[in-house]
Amino acid sequence: MWNLAVAARLAAVQQVHLRPVFKAKCVTFVSLMEIVKCLHLKARGEVYPCSEVLRFPVPDDKVDWAVPWTNYNPVDYTAPALLKQPSWADPPYRNPCGRTGLKGRGLLGRWGPNHAADPIVTRWKKEGGKTVTHNCSGKPILQFVAICRKDNKEWAIPGGMVDAGEKVSATLRREFGEEALNSLELAEAERQGVKELINLLFEAGEMVYQGYVDDPRNTDNAWMETVAMNYHDETGDSVGKLALHAGDDAGAVKWMDIEKEQNLYASHTHFLHQLVKGRNAHW
């Protein structure tokens, strides 16, 4: 049965996903049903990350909580490391996008939404000082800073969790500096210079997405939500010229062309698709 807390969460998610992707001329709206159909796939992966736990299989037509399923028997799993820590007082929630085949918190620290922030730093691909266009679409090619995650070797946006009491804007700056530029290992003078460039670029960002993420760590009771912001270096003269160095959480980092064939971590390909539509770039 749905309770008031679950209904409130679903209403909030519905409102979030009807936000415009950009405030400029190109406005894209994303409905909750599109999110369910497009994003709730990796959250049903057979093997739960960093474990040998198998999810209870959930077919596409049984994802929706509104569909009766008396035989649904999700596996109960919370990582042992989390069980050793004090539990937050949050009551168990129900995943707003449907069944995942696993209950508990898995690898996530909180019941319900676990908040992250994803900075999408972009520039136009250039050769010989000229912007490169794609042979088929004729549209300019957009590049973004991508990291290779150490835990699963998948390429991703260099984002991370929002610390308690931290503003999302601070998380976006911190995660990009730590994961893509390895700012923690820089000399103090160099670190300050990098910080100034990041602060300058991050003053003007565009929201690409906010809400539920199809993360492989999601469960029936805990899931990821994020704010994905685009910070675009139009001329390529600021962050676009910085040397990229992978931080502790990244195995590698590079400027990557944005293209349709990419299979990135979680919902990151979906975020980039929304971005290129807003900037009329190649997909």
DSSP 118-177: EEEEEEE-EETTEE-B-TTT-PBPEEEEEEEETTT--EE-S-EEPPTT--HHHHHHHHHH
Q: How far apart are CA 237 and CA 241, in angstroms?
A: 6
Domain boundaries, the chain: 10-45+112-279
End-to-end CA distance of the chain: 42
pLDDT band at residue 143 using 50, 70 and 90 as cut-offs: very high
Question: Is 90 exceeded by the pLDDT of residue 190?
Answer: no
Q: What is the mean pLDDT of the chain?
A: 83
pLDDT for residue 226:
95
Q: How far apart are CA 45 and CA 279, in angstroms?
A: 32
Record the pTM: 0.81
Q: Phi and psi for 125 in degrees, rounded to 5?
A: -70, 130
Looking at residue 260, its amino acid is K
Mean pLDDT across 252-271: 93
Least confident of 32-46, 61-75, 141-155, 165-179: 32-46
Least confident of 100-109, 182-191, 230-239: 182-191
Give the pLDDT confidence of 76-100 residue by residue, as tens digits.
999 998 887 766 556 678 999 999 9
Superfamily of chain region 10-45+112-279: Nucleoside Triphosphate Pyrophosphohydrolase (3.90.79.10)
Mean pLDDT across 218-246: 88
Give the pLDDT confidence of 41-76 residue by residue, as tens digits.
899 999 999 999 999 999 999 999 999 999 999 999
